[in-house]
Amino acid sequence: MKTLEHEGKSIFSRYGLLIPRGKVVDNSLEGKKVAEEFGGEVMVKAQVHTGGRGKEGGIKKASTPQEALQWTKEILGRKIRGYTVNKVYIEERVNIEEEYYLAFILDRSSGLPLFIISSKGGIDIEKVAREEPERVRRLKVNPLWGIHPYQVRREALEARIPSSHLTPIVSAAMKLYEVFIGEDALLAEINPALLTSEGRLVCGDSKVELDDNAFYRHQELHNSLESYQEEDPLERRARKEGLSFVKLKGNIGVIGNGAGLVMSTLDSISREGGSPANFLDIGGGASADKMEAAIDIVLANPRVNSLFINIFGGITRCDEAARGIIAAIKNLSPQFMPVVRLGGTNEEEGWRILEDSGVEIKVCKSMKEAVIKAIEYKKEA
């Protein structure tokens, strides 16, 4: 889950990182009022889940409350890389001496936190990494030991950061690592990290991405985030049920047990000319309760007019899955005939249970046959 800038800064503040004063507004008059409160000179920032806001005109400097009103009015409602701006963040301006870059990110190739520091921050950080690689340093961190101040100092000096600036940078990097570990983050980034004329390091921006798999450890935080509230209601509901669900644009509902199986099912449907409505992985079990929750979520999408349940019996036996499917379909009574493909452990017993159930289910023994039937039933519907 990605946070908005003001949400990330709120998290940073709890860990002792310095952030400028700021308030979120959704109308221009409120923007002017906040600017007056902060002394007139403020930044007006679009709050959307994408980078590159500055290049797209989503971040503006205002020298007076009237300018803040004008910029707020102009930014609200505009689209930035496909996202509509519904709120802006009015933030006091700080006296900037230097802009740096600090981040911790999960390096998936090694499974370790990766510390990144650069002596140049701001909107062109990608260009710096490409054209001046000597100004960007990376360090893989052993999570058993964490990162130590001497390591931050060493990498900062290697990135050509003056030694006189190290104290606030080291302090901020250590706190940022606490954010990364404490919040189960996949990314915790300060860009730009602003060194002020007073010698303080202030978070000019925030980018935080939280690991959905650790949701249960931070439920109160997640529930308070606008990012969570704006999430698709079906995806949010699936998360609460412990199901991996992503809503797509098609009309064939898909349920499977295992991410690889579900993805191959989506590919097969697309290859045969169909259009999947979702990705839904029920995981390792196919109990009646879990299957009913999965089917109910899929059918709650009004676009769905066909349902394909694809189960491979491994740890979960096909006969157990069949009983769960029957119980769920009896309770939910879908308006069209579901297509079920069972394969693997106890598949023949599973087929028999489904065929003898008295419930209208099209049982298929091969993936291709099931995909074709799911598409045909959609066309008939």
Catalytic residues: 101, 189
Pairing of strands 42-46, 96-107: unpaired
Alpha-helix residue ranges (DSSP H) falling in 184-317? 219-224, 226-229, 233-240, 259-271, 288-299
Residue 190 contacts residue 206 (beta carbons within 8 Å): yes
Contacts of 27 (CB under 8 A, 6+ apart): 72, 76
Residue 126 region, left (φ>0) first, then alpha (ψ -120 to 50), else beta? alpha
Provide the greatest CA pair distance for the chain: 79
Structure-token pair, residue 236: 């949010």
Distance CA 96, CA 57 (A): 21
- Secondary structure class of 324 (helix, strand, coil): helix
